[in-house]
Chains A and B, each alone.
Chain A
Amino acid sequence: MSTIMLVDDSATILLSIASILTKAGYTVEKASNAELALKKFNDGVKVDLLITDLNMPGMNGIELIKEVRKLPAYKFMPILFLTTESQQSKRMEAKAAGASGWIVKPATADELLNTIKLVIR
């Protein structure tokens, strides 16, 4: 089964989303901030999908995916944003930075898992 990197500064989100993903059979790599996630990517962690928050202290989600996309191993890895932000301009910014999709929080297990199935092939 695939490994998903989950990046969020909220302990609640890390816990509840990781619960949903683990029950669905995914392996979850958690990071409580973008810098920590980027370090894991730089260390060559094996990940099939990145799910990241947008607004985080320090590096934000868009800055994170711009950095991740520079790494050859993750150039084509699907990336989903999971965020409370729903503004169209932010979505377009994420798309331009290399995101594959957008999910608005709070997400139901079905919304999350159905979207994941569409991007992990």
Chain B
Amino acid sequence: MNDDASRQTEALSEATVCGLSQIHDLCEVLKSQMALIDKTAENAVLTLHHHLVESSELAVLCAQDMATSSAASSMLVRLHNELDTMGAELQFQDAVRQQIVTVVGALDMLSHYVADGLQRANEAKAFNPSLAMSEQMEKLYQAYVMDSQRAAHDAALKRDSSIADSAGIQRTELF
């Protein structure tokens, strides 16, 4: 290899290391940001729940006060039921939280993958992480906690999925 080619290879290697370090930093930043999103959503849901409970109780009190007007009373009872249903719908935040946890886990995996590769690159002068990305991806797949995550993963990789449509899921089952 002549001097020019050698210098080019060295510059390319330095650029790669620099790029990978930045990817590692970006992973760390994104993990923090995802944790912040999770906390923001949870706080909003908890506040919303508080107001729903207050509104629901208020509707019951109004219905009792307006007992002489059956139409108004009936509407308030319906309002109370609607507010209760909305309260139950807040469970969506738990699914979102778990999806965020999975993404944070994946970013953590990528961050370690890059850090490990960089460390080994210093010794071997080549980016050579100890665990193949395919193995990391399989670990990620095994860590999913809902079928919608598995289906999204399969769809992103354009591979056949054995995951049943969510419409076909039996939501309650007694053993």
A103 touches B171 (CB 8 A): yes
B interface secondary structure, majority? helix
Cα–Cα distance between A81 and B95 once the two chains are bound (Å): 15
Interface segment out of the listed B3-11, B15-23, B80-88, B107-115: B80-88
Q: Which residue on chain A has the smallest CB distance to residue B149?
A: A84
Give chain B residues whose Cβ lies under 8 Å from the Cβ of A100.
174-175
B94 touches A10 (CB 8 A): yes
Cα–Cα distance between A42 and B50 once the two chains are bound (Å): 33
A1, CB-defined interface residue at 8 Å: no
B49 touches A20 (CB 8 A): no
B147, CB-defined interface residue at 8 Å: yes
Interface segment out of the listed A27-35, A44-52, A69-77, A104-112: A104-112
Answer whether A16 and B172 are a contact pair too, CB < 8 Å, given A10-B93, A84-B145: no
The distance from the CB of A58 to the nearest CB of chain B, in whole angstroms, is 14
Cα–Cα distance between A95 and B174 once the two chains are bound (Å): 9
B: residues with CB less than 8 A from A are 42, 45-46, 49, 53, 84-85, 87-95, 97-98, 145-147, 166, 169-175
Sample of 22 A–B contacts (CB below 8 Å): A12-B45, A12-B97, A20-B87, A20-B88, A54-B145, A55-B145, A83-B145, A84-B145, A85-B146, A86-B147, A99-B175, A101-B172, A102-B175, A105-B91, A105-B95, A106-B92, A107-B88, A107-B171, A108-B88, A109-B85, A111-B172, A118-B174
